[in-house]
Structure 1
Amino acid sequence: MQKILIYTDGACKGNPGPGGYGGLIFQNGKKLEFKGSDPSTTNNIMEMTAAIVALKKLKEPSEVELYTDSEYLVKGMTEWMPNWVRRNWTTSTKKPVKNKELWQELRRLADTHNITWKWVRGHAGHPENERADQLANEAIVEMARG
């Protein structure tokens, strides 16, 4: 299984509001950058979308280290998900899990790959995280320009 490094970030101008996502994939000595946007979304949705888009770009099952500054994403995938699944996608307070479809897609993708979810502090000078943030914000600006 090949080893792949992924760095993702999401951004939102207002929450909800116009949002963007961006990321970097390091594979076989090459770097791929990607970005996208949504006119009306939330920061959490953009964080999750960045990870989904990155993982969908992988052509075969892989050993992945995925870095994000979203504690929501890391904790959701590493701590909360087993309980959500056990409770049929409801929270401990019996409310429906927010962004259920995105969590389910992430779960499907995580079943394909061996993913280690890693949190990095945002806006702390981590070069790849800073670049992912820049790509997410570029996507918002490009969307606003039409």
Structure 2
Amino acid sequence: MSTQLIIYTDGAARGNPGPGGYGVVLNWAGKIKELSQGFRLTTNNRMELMAVVEGLKALSRDGLDIVIYSDSSYVVNSVEKGWVFDWVKKGFKDKKNPDLWKEFLLYYKRHRIKFVWVKGHADNPWNNRCDQLATAAADSRHWLVDEGYEREKNGGML
């Protein structure tokens, strides 16, 4: 019997757009790994989705049973209600964050993933930890460039 990987994710932006960050906690049979990064200019929804992508990118093998907990209705509903799969069929026409959704789908196909929505800023310690990681990354000023956002914002130029 395989162990289920639990991933908690959160994103934050100081302004929308503004500086932002993501936080991820991966829990594999009690072994905890935390990830976070800040970006100089981005949006909250991008950081919510990037947290999921970066959590999945950190995995060293395929075929895992994964439950991803997120307080982002945008992310959870897009996958669990199948919206993103319709967006693919329509070439992501008029949809935001196609770069991140396409990257997410590459990793999504490699695993068995279920999303669960959790209330943000409530009594879930792992979600709260992700929020701490995301906000600290957004505030750190050790920012990377969210190339997908800045390229889209600037008409294809960085």
| TM-score, reference length from structure 2 | 0.84
Unmatched runs of 5 consecutive residues or more in structure 1 = 91-95
Contact 2:24 2:36 in 1 (8 A): yes
Write the distance in 2 (CA, Å) between the matches of 1:139 and 1:115: 26
- Counterpart residue number, 2:133: 135
Letter paired with 2:48: E
Query: What value does the CA root-mean-square deviation take over the aligned residues?
Result: 1.5
1:88 maps onto 2:86 in alignment: no
Letter paired with 2:79: M
Change (3 A) 1:107 1:144: closer
Contact 2:9 2:130 in 1 (8 A): yes
How far residue 116 of structure 1 moved from its aligned partner, in angstroms, is 0.4
Write the distance in 1 (CA, Å) between the matches of 2:84 and 2:112: 16
Write the distance in 1 (CA, Å) between the matches of 2:142 and 2:59: 29
- Counterpart residue number, 1:124: 122
- Counterpart residue number, 1:21: 22
Secondary structure at the counterpart of residue 112 of structure 1: coil
Write the distance in 2 (CA, Å) between the matches of 1:138 and 1:103: 25
**Identical columns (%):** 40
How far residue 131 of structure 1 moved from its aligned partner, in angstroms, is 0.5
Letter paired with 2:55: A
- Counterpart residue number, 2:55: 54
How far residue 39 of structure 1 moved from its aligned partner, in angstroms, is 0.5
Write the distance in 1 (CA, Å) between the matches of 2:13 and 2:85: 28
- Counterpart residue number, 1:93: none
Count of residue pairs brought into register by the alignment: 140
